[in-house]
């Protein structure tokens, strides 16, 4: 790799012909714009480098974004935390360690995969990989009402994470996720994942939960997001509604989850069948509630 200029290799047709290490965001956007559909961002590389295992063709050109200062910073403000897209899971978990209101995200980033992957995989890569159903940061950020900033050469826009998830597979070439913005607020939260030995490091189901509690001890707002069960993580809004206005209680939350779990259409995979992913949800909701209450 070189800084600022591409290296070219044509040894194997299934490897990229250039990797351009961008020194600045502007340089990255220029390069992506030039490559168009033939190029894309290279963040931690933990998904891209496994393309041959998935029998996927690599892009002809990659733009490495890991050395861009504004993409590798976590800024903790009074109203929000702003996370650069190229912040690694381990750096994110470390930055949030002293902020209990972000327990759900610190746990998602700090317990995903394994230590080697966590030191390379980035939050932007985790959100941008539309084929990856088991991304830990996605449900955690959904239940924190996160927004995603996207930049192109002449455009910068901010969208809700839910909207981003709906549109990310048709992302225009030349665009980058630059920041994730997460509002601050008093809340109890937890991230519970169920890994199975047969699934390697991937969780077969994930429940992320964040709730604010009023002075009388009742749930004022609830956010629950489910990952790895369906192809894309999503909020469980009917369960959220069932929790609001009552004390946060693990047994009651698990009962409500069991009644409502039928709304999920699980995905079949080599690691776990569809029915199994759905059947573990009430237990994960119970564990998430207990963990949130002690957070
Ligand atoms: C064995 C193994 C186990 C894993 N287990 C888990 C797990 O349990 N939980 C978990 O959450 N993750 C896990 N991961 C990581 C996960 O599978 C992805 O590899 C990772 O989230 C991708 O991040 P990255 O920074 O490496 O992205 P890259 O591989 O660099 O990129 C992935 C895709 O995202 C695009 N992209 C990257 N950054 C941006 C950006 N800023 N803007 C636009 N597009 C971008 C790239 O162009 C590419 O298409 C695991 C990985 C491995 C190898």
Question: Which of 128, 148, 205, 233 is the best mutation target for the ligand 1 pocket, counting ligand atoms within 8 Å of the beta carbon and taking the most?
Answer: 128
| Pair (101, 154) in one structural domain | yes
| Pair (202, 175) in one structural domain | no
| Pair (42, 57) in one structural domain | yes
Q: What is the DSSP letter of 119?
A: T
| Structural domain ending residue among the three candidates 150, 183, 216 | 183
| Structural domain ending residue among the three candidates 137, 152, 183 | 183
Neighbours of 270 (CB within 10 A): 7
| Structural domain ending residue among the three candidates 183, 202, 217 | 183
Q: How far apart are CA 43 and CA 128, in angstroms?
A: 10
| Pair (212, 134) in one structural domain | no
3-state secondary structure at position 243 = helix
Tell me what pLDDT residue 199 has.
Answer: 52
| Pair (84, 173) in one structural domain | yes
| Pair (104, 58) in one structural domain | no
CATH number at residue 47: 3.30.43
Torsion of CA 6, 8, 13, 14, to 10 degrees: -40
- As for ligand 1, residues whose beta carbon falls within 6 Å of it are 40-48, 50, 65, 85, 112-113, 117, 120-122, 124-126, 128-129, 132, 134-137, 176-177, 200-203
Q: Whole-angstrom distance between the N-terminal and C-terminal Cα of the chain?
A: 43
CATH number at residue 171: 3.30.465.10
CATH number at residue 193: 3.30.390.50
Please answer whether residues 38 and 117 qualify as being in contact, where contact means their C-beta atoms are separated by less than 8 angstroms: no
Condensed to tens digits (0 to 9), the pLDDT of residues 159-193 reads 999 999 999 998 889 999 999 999 999 999 999 99
| Pair (75, 179) in one structural domain | yes
Read off the pLDDT of each residue in 218-245 and give the average, rounded to a whole number: 98
Condensed to tens digits (0 to 9), the pLDDT of residues 90-103 reads 999 999 999 999 99
Read off the pLDDT of each residue in 270-295 and give the average, rounded to a whole number: 96
Between helices 281-293 and 250-260, what is the axis angle to 10°?
Answer: 150
Tell me what pLDDT residue 189 has.
Answer: 98
How many domains is the chain built from?
Answer: 3
| Pair (119, 137) in one structural domain | yes
Q: What residues make up the domain containing 149?
A: 71-183
């Amino acid at each position: 790799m070189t800084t600022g200029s591409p290296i070219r290799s044509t040894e194997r047709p299934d490897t990229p012909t250039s990797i351009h290490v961008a020194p600045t965001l502007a340089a990255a956007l220029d390069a992506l714009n030039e490559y168009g559909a033939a190029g894309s961002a290279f963040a931690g590389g933990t998904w891209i480098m496994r393309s041959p295992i998935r029998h996927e063709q690599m892009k002809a050109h990659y733009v490495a974004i890991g050395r861009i200062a504004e993409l590798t910073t976590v800024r903790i403000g009074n109203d929000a935390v702003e996370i650069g897209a190229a912040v690694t899971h381990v750096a994110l978990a470390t930055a949030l360690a002293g902020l209990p209101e972000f327990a759900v995200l610190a746990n998602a980033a700090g317990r995903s995969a394994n230590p080697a992957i966590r030191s390379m995989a980035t939050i932007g890569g985790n959100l941008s990989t539309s084929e990856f159903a088991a991304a830990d940061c996605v449900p955690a950020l959904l239940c924190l009402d996160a927004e995603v900033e996207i930049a192109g050469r002449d455009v910068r826009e901010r969208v809700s994470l839910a909207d981003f998830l709906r549109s990310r597979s048709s992302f225009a070439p030349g665009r980058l996720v630059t920041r994730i913005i997460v509002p601050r607020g008093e809340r109890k939260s937890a991230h519970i994942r169920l890994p199975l030995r047969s699934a390697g490091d991937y969780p077969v189901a994930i429940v992320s939960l964040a709730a604010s509690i009023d002075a009388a001890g009742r749930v004022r707002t609830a956010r629950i997001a489910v990952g790895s069960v369906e192809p894309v993580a999503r909020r469980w809004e009917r369960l959220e509604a069932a929790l609001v206005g009552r004390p946060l209680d693990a047994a009651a939350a698990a009962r409500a989850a069991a009644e409502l779990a039928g709304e999920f259409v699980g995905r079949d995979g080599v690691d776990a069948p569809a029915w199994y992913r759905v059947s573990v949800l009430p237990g994960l909701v119970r564990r998430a509630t207990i963990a949130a209450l002690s957070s």
